[in-house]
Amino acid sequence: MKTNINHILGKAWLGLAALALPLASCSDWDDHYDPSTGDGGAKTTLWQAISSEADLSNFAHVLQGCGYDRNLSGSQTYTVFALTNDGLSAEQADSLVSAYKEQKNQGVRDNDNTVIRQFVQNHMSLFTQPVSSLTNDTLTLLNGKIAPVTQTAINKQEFITANALHSNGVLFTIGKKLDYFPNIFEYLGIDSRIDSAYNFINSYSRYEFNEAASVPGGINEDGQTVYLDSVSVLSNSLFSSYGNINSEDSTYWMLVPTNDQWSRLVSEYHDYFDYANTVNKRDSMQEANTRLAILRGTLFSRTVNPDRSFADSAVSTQANSYQVRKYMDLEPYDIFYRPFDAGGIFDGTIDAECSNGHVRIAPNFNVPKEKTFFQTVKVEAENVSRQDTLIDASQPLTVHQVTSDNPFYDKISSNSFVSVIAENTSTNPNHFPVAAVQYSIPNLLSNVGYDIYVVFAPQWAYNQYIPEEDLLPNRFRCMLYYTNKDNRQLNRRLDLKTNDPLKVDTVQVASDMKFPACSYGLAQPNVKLRIMSQVSQSQTSKFSTDFHIDCIIFKPHEN
């Protein structure tokens, strides 16, 4: 099913749904581009030509009402595609001017004013660009949109007159408006069915001064540069991490839940991001991360997903590459197989075509959280930054690399593990060392049941010639340390366990362990797991006092 964008745009016959972007100052257009020299000696400006033509009076009314009579009276050159009165009635022109003034009074800057962007700038481009019998190209309009142009038409609208050269550009006339084709970001703000997603994404929008695109005009008395034209550009931090859905130069698909689905997901995900009361801006973090979790895995670059592969798997912009996944032994998060099949992420979605791709509207949001943010957390034992405490063991821990000719190659995470070698580190020469190592566990969700595993590597993974009778199991216990919502330290002593020293042994040490405070995205994790030897001096003939640890796994599950 396809959605008719022009129908959604609504007011008058043009989309005037104001995109509520943050405000920033920017000067009017200045005459800082080189004027064309191919105007055939015409002495009238574009504005003089348009305003003196009776059949363009309604178009002229809109231009003057929006302040563009000044633009078209200067030395900056433009190409204008002016609507005749047959294509723009006096009533429609009045509606456009009223809408422009209404947004202006609300503080909307001109380049964000929908009348300017969707109508005025949609009917002109920079520089003098006449057509000829050889013309079969595209033209970048003043709002950044790309329009196909031939000798006789632009965007399939036939020219009534063409190539009328004037002192500051060239004038064409057309009998029907040029349709405005929103990009994905703009479309989110136009379609009221999905504006919950837009409102959240747009909350990250800022306008930033662009020095390279601005025109300096001198130095003031304080030694600061004064700009004749200060250009500000839209910046949104989510664009860099998810995808630049505001760009006309890239092509994306975006899967967006309807507002009721958005509300359902916010309610479902909210308790996963319940931070301790001592965390700075904990409420803001909870609100933001809940909604970022919904958006995760919903944007797809068509450069990465060509037609041939898209039907088999949809790789989102946040997915790790195959090389990274293989090297770090990661699961294929943010990748969705058979996306168009029944139950797939695109199943039952409504398609809306945009200037830079497609929005897929999801009345039933089929993105499984287990494939995006609801992830298994794995800590590699050799990761020094996660080694929190070492007791009665030689330092640093010995790291072993599994060679490609070893039978355990590719059976151990990242093909590396550590040996925790018991060592008397006290001043008492008679002390029997009981080795322990403690790891900090990052990015855990709150109010989620985790099954916890310690994965042990066999010594054969680094030395295949150790006699089997010399390989002894470990007898160990784990302790969990974590904090509650008030940042009070809690702990839990877990059951005694042993492992099989002849294989890569994944030992479950806890099940359905829930943590009251989330640590997702925090620099300092609030959960730690200590692995402690439970071998006495009299038991050394049956159990090893040394550990060989591959990794620690916290696997989430629903109740």
Q: What is the band of 36 on the pLDDT scale with cuts at 50, 70, 90? A: very low
User: What is the pLDDT confidence band of residue 228, given thresholds at 50, 70 and 90?
Assistant: low
Sheet holding 146-150, edge to edge: 124-126, 78-83, 169-174, 157-166, 153-154, 146-150, 136-140
Which residues on neighbouring strands pair with residue 399, listed in sequence order? 418
pLDDT band at 110 (very low <50, low <70, confident <90, very high): confident
Dist CA 293 CA 264 (whole Å): 13
Angle (deg, nearest 10), helices 90-105 and 57-65? 0
Q: What is the pLDDT of residue 26?
A: 37
Residue 278 CA to residue 275 CA, distance in Å, equals 8
Whether the predicted pLDDT of 466 surpasses 70: yes
Confidence of residue 15 (pLDDT cuts 50, 70, 90): very low
Which residues does residue 173 pair with via DSSP β-bridges, in sequence order? 82, 161
Rounded to an integer, what distance in angstroms lies between the CA atom of residue 449 and that of residue 492?
Answer: 15
- Residue 34 has a pLDDT of 33
Span 522-526, average pLDDT: 94
- What is the percent of the chain where pLDDT is above 70? 90
d(Cα 98, Cα 276) in Å, to the nearest integer? 50
Average pLDDT, the chain: 89
- For residues 320 and 316, give the distance between their C-alpha atoms in angstroms, rounded to a whole number: 9
In the chain, where the domains are located: 5-181, 185-371, 377-557
The CB density around residue 307, as the number of other CB atoms within 10 Å, is 7
When comparing pLDDT for 16 and 344, which is higher?
344
Closest CA to 183 of 198, 204, 200, 199: 198
pLDDT for res 213:
58
Question: For residue 54, how many other CB atoms are within 10 A of its CB?
Answer: 8
Would the pLDDT of 98 be above 90? yes
Report the alpha-carbon distance of residue 515 to residue 41 in Å, rounded. Answer: 78
Helix (H) or strand (E) holding 157: strand 157-166
pLDDT at 211: 73
Tokens of 400: 């072993």
Distance CA 453, CA 524 (A): 22
22: nearest Cα among 234, 288, 286: 234
Q: Which fold has domain 5-181?
A: FAS1 domain (2.30.180)
Residue 76 pLDDT level (bands cut at 50, 70, 90): confident
Place of tokens 């989102």: 316
In this prediction, residues 87-92 reach a mean pLDDT of: 95
**Can you give the pLDDT at residue 18?**
42
CA-angle at 553, arms to 399 and 490, nearest 5°: 105
The predicted structure's pLDDT at residue 231:
61
b/e per residue 477-515 (b: at least 16 CB within 10 A): bbbbbbbebeeeeeeeebeebebebeebbebebbeebeb
pLDDT at residue 230 in the model:
63
CB burial of residue 48 (10 Å; 0-12, 13-18, 19+): middle
Lowest mean pLDDT among 183-192, 226-235, 351-360: 226-235
User: Please, what CATH class does the domain formed by 377-557 belong to?
Assistant: mainly beta
Inform me whether the pLDDT recorded for 468 exceeds 60: yes
Find the mean pLDDT for residues 406-420: 96
pLDDT band at 426 (very low <50, low <70, confident <90, very high): confident
- How far are the Cα atoms of 6, 109, 141, 179, 336 from residue 121, in angstroms, in the given order? 17, 14, 7, 12, 39
Distance between start and end Cα atoms, the chain: 37
- Amino acid type, 111: N
- Where on the phi/psi map is residue 512: left (φ > 0), alpha (ψ -120 to 50), or beta? left
pLDDT tens-digit map of 245-271 = 998 888 999 999 999 999 999 999 999
Strand intervals (E) in 187-305: 205-209, 215-219, 225-229, 232-236, 252-257, 299-301
* 8 CB-side CA count, 13 A: 20
pLDDT for the residue numbered 330: 84
Rounded to an integer, the average pLDDT of 499-506 is 98
Q: What is the pLDDT of residue 559?
A: 64
